[in-house]
Structure 1
């Protein structure tokens, strides 16, 4: 995830989700990753430099790699209707507490929480979208009521609880 300020983004993920910093992949005071190699390997536009990279872990779940770039072309944060990866969805055990932590950390919640749809519309299930301080769309969702998986589904949706 590319952010304008890695330290500020780290504080947001720590405060909102209890993230821990594992290490800086590319320290801020180290040499930038730039030139023909990174441009070809990573699909960067000409002149783009990676100036800082950090790896976080979110609870007992995924790792999140943060990037800060300078130079080159850069677009604003994706909207849900844009093509490609548009948001990060995170399961939360306690929707009310997660919303409070998200807001206290500087995020802006959109309307909700709202019921989940179709197979996910069970008692107690809910979701809400919000924007991180730099604009990335993040979905908080909880489905303690379970998911009604179609008969014969090849796998079930991940859940933190059996």
Structure 2
């Protein structure tokens, strides 16, 4: 038996406020708005009344489905550590960590305290984590020259 063929599709991200999420991801991180679907029917892994908006956004090759639930209401908490099981963060390369962090704060993000790994030399990676409006972690990385 030969291995099946897998093609990358998208990443799903549950949000509690679609307008705030779009402000952060589109206006802040530069994603483009794609198709939007209003779903009002039973779907897998849910029970009872189901109503949600599925809003796709795209940046480069990354396609994200923002899932805004009217019913059932979202549950749980996003990952708070890189060693927590499951998806822990999305990562973006930037030229200026401080400017990128400040920009995302202006668009509804929150800098995660204690996550700024200052580089001592231009040849070291510098990292900062910013949480989106729901707490999903975004890693900002400044790479040394020649690593891109």
TM-score bin (small chain): 0.7 to 0.9
Deviation at 1:144, TM superposition (A): 3.4
Where is the helix percentage greater, Structure 1 or Structure 2? 1
Alignment pair present for 1:16 and 2:16: no
In 1: Cα distance, 2:72 partner to 2:143 partner? 42
Residues paired across the two proteins, number: 132
Residues 41 and 51, structure 2, Cα contact 8 Å, conserved in 1: yes
Aligned residue for 1:113? Answer: 116
Alignment pair present for 1:66 and 2:66: yes
In 2: Cα distance, 1:61 partner to 1:131 partner? 22
What are the residue-to-residue correspondences of 1:142-153 with 2, within 5 Å? 142-147=142-147
- Cα 1:17–1:73 shift into 2, 3 Å: closer
What are the residue-to-residue correspondences of 1:68-147 with 2, within 5 Å? 68-69=68-69, 70-71=71-72, 74-80=75-81, 81-110=83-112, 111-115=114-118, 123=123, 125-147=125-147
Q: Could you tell me which runs of 5 or more consecutive residues in structure 2 were left unpaired when the two chains were aligned.
A: 1-12
Deviation at 1:143, TM superposition (A): 0.8
In 2: Cα distance, 1:7 partner to 1:86 partner? 23
**Residue-by-residue CA offset, 1:40-97 (whole Å, 9 max, x unaligned):** xxxx243373510111122x34122101122177212222242111211122233232
In 1: Cα distance, 2:95 partner to 2:57 partner? 20
Q: TM-score, normalised by structure 1?
A: 0.69
> 3-state DSSP class of the match of 2:99?
helix
Q: TM-score, normalised by structure 2?
A: 0.74
Q: Could you tell me which runs of 5 or more consecutive residues in structure 1 were left unpaired when the two chains were aligned.
A: 148-158
Aligned residue for 2:58? Answer: 57
> 3-state DSSP class of the match of 1:74?
coil
In 1: Cα distance, 2:140 partner to 2:41 partner? 33
Where is the strand percentage greater, Structure 1 or Structure 2? 2
